[in-house]
Amino acid sequence: MVGNKVSHSNIKTRRKFYPNLQTKRFYIPEEDKWITLKVSANGLRTINKKGVYAAIKEAREKGFLNK
């Protein structure tokens, strides 16, 4: 996403907004293994809400994960 950085003197400069990505390890008891995912802060909230196995299954169905 792009936008403007606006200074105190109201000068506009183009800037980019990047997602808040975090590298996080998750344990999947159904598969009895650890995986490392690079997820956004919003994705972490989704994983906490649905559970890691359900969130990964949904991401695979939508094509967000390779494996």
Tokens at 11, concatenated: 């000068």
Taking only the tens place, the pLDDT of each residue in 33-67 is 999 999 999 999 999 999 999 998 898 899 887 76
Domain borders along the chain are: 19-67
Taking only the tens place, the pLDDT of each residue in 6-20 is 999 999 999 999 999
Place of tokens 């559970």: 51
- CA gap 50, 5 in Å, rounded: 36
Q: What is the pTM of this model?
A: 0.67
